[in-house]
């Protein structure tokens, strides 16, 4: 079993503090839901865990099975088994899906591989890739297309889950993977996440405002973030309550944190309001 331990994590974007002491423990095969109003710091936590260079850890620690992760580059974290599914997946013109995934899979499964080193065998790779594409209802022709170029929103999100299936991370952070998808696409993505989490004993942190993804992936733990902190934790019933009633009750139970969060949001640069 693996454990990802987040302890008193503080993160800033530029000169603006976003996270102000996050504590969270994720274990293998656990599903955690992270919910909260826009701008509460959910996406910042996901990006900071993945090692995005725009997010600076100013204090605190993140350990993976006791090994400190803060200070590692993003690719090192990926090789250790951390994966981020982006809310807005990037397009990489000129890089075919099949080539991108073959290199990524080779690096993750052989963490000591150097650039130019041997790749996973084409025969083995192609067989696994096609199996996964079929499971996730991804047209095999997409393997020959440039990554995310011309893809619809649903196709991009399926591609994120396909990457997760191929990379087999120990912990996956899904940053509003269900946003902007129609019902059919949400169902396919949700079922794919549930299947992968079960068969690979993966720990999953799901950031969402909706219930559909959580319907297929019932959270063992639900956390509410407000003002850069986790202010409440509970089970699946807490996620259902938040979906039905919104965050007014949370704000009422934590008036000082809510007031401080409002003041910080008003003072923050516009590009950070949704962080």
Please report the pLDDT score of residue 270 as a whole number. 64
Q: What average pLDDT does the chain have?
A: 91
Find tokens 């839901």 and name the residue: 33
Q: Cβ neighbours of residue 270 under 8 Å, at least 6 residues apart?
A: none
- The answer on pLDDT for 197 being more than 60 is yes
Domains of the chain, residue spans: 1-81+170-181+209-274, 91-169
Find tokens 């956390």 and name the residue: 223
Q: Which two tokens stand for residue 87?
A: 């809310």
pLDDT tens for residues 88-115? 888 999 999 999 999 999 999 998 888 8
Residues 106 and 119: beta-carbon distance below 8 Å: yes
Please report the pLDDT score of residue 271 as a whole number. 63
pLDDT tens for residues 118-163? 999 999 999 999 999 998 888 899 999 999 999 888 888 889 999 9
Mean pLDDT of 202-231: 91
Please report the pLDDT score of residue 274 as a whole number. 56
Integer Cα distance of 221 and 262 in angstroms: 26
Give burial (CB, 10 Å; 0-12/13-18/19+) of 163. buried
- Residues recorded for the chain: 275
Q: What is the phi/psi pair of residue 30, to 5°?
A: -100, 145
Q: How far is CA 179 from CA 89, 153, 188, 212, in A?
A: 12, 9, 13, 10
Please report the pLDDT score of residue 117 as a whole number. 87
Residues 172 and 164: beta-carbon distance below 8 Å: yes
Integer Cα distance of 169 and 108 in angstroms: 9
pTM for this model (two decimals): 0.90
DSSP string, 153-202: HHHHHHHHHHHHHHH--SEEEEESTTTT--HHHHHHHHHHHHHHHHHHT-
Please report the pLDDT score of residue 73 as a whole number. 95
Please report the pLDDT score of residue 220 as a whole number. 95
pLDDT tens for residues 29-73? 999 999 999 889 999 999 999 999 999 999 999 999 999 999 999
Integer Cα distance of 155 and 89 in angstroms: 10
Provide the β-strand partners of residue 236: none
Q: Which residue would you say has higher pLDDT here, 55 or 183?
A: 55
Please report the pLDDT score of residue 273 as a whole number. 56
Residue 174: pLDDT band (50, 70, 90) is very high
- The answer on pLDDT for 215 being more than 60 is yes
Q: Which two tokens stand for residue 261?
A: 């969060």
Domain 1-81+170-181+209-274 - what CATH class? alpha beta
Please report the pLDDT score of residue 269 as a whole number. 67
Left if phi > 0, otherwise alpha if psi is -120 to 50, otherwise beta: which for 246? left
């Amino acid at each position: 079993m693996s454990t990802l331990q987040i302890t008193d994590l503080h993160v800033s974007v530029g000169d603006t503090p976003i996270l102000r002491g996050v504590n969270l423990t994720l274990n293998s095969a656990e599903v955690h839901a992270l919910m909260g109003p826009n701008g509460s710091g959910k996406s910042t936590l996901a990006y900071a865990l993945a090692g995005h260079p725009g997010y600076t850890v100013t204090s605190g620690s993140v350990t993976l099975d006791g090994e400190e992760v803060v200070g590692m580059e993003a690719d090192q974290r990926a090789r250790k088994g951390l994966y981020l599914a982006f809310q807005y997946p990037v397009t990489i013109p000129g890089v075919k899906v099949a080539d991108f995934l073959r290199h990524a899979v080779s690096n993750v499964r052989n963490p000591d591989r150097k650039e130019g080193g041997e790749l996973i065998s084409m025969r083995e790779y192609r067989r696994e890739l096609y199996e996964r594409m079929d499971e996730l209802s991804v047209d095999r022709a997409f393997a020959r297309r440039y990554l995310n170029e011309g893809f619809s929103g649903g196709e991009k999100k399926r591609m994120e889950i396909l990457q997760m299936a191929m990379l087999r991370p120990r912990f996956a952070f899904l940053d509003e993977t269900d946003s902007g998808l129609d019902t059919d696409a949400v169902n396919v993505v949700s079922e794919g996440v549930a299947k992968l989490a079960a068969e690979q004993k993966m720990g999953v942190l799901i950031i969402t405002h909706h219930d559909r993804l959580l319907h297929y992936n019932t959270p063992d733990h639900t956390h509410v973030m407000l003002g850069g902190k986790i202010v409440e934790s509970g089970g699946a019933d807490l996620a259902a309550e938040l979906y039905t009633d919104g965050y007014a009750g949370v704000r009422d139970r934590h008036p000082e944190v809510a007031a401080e969060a409002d003041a910080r949001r008003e003072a923050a640069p516009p590009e950070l309001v949704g962080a």
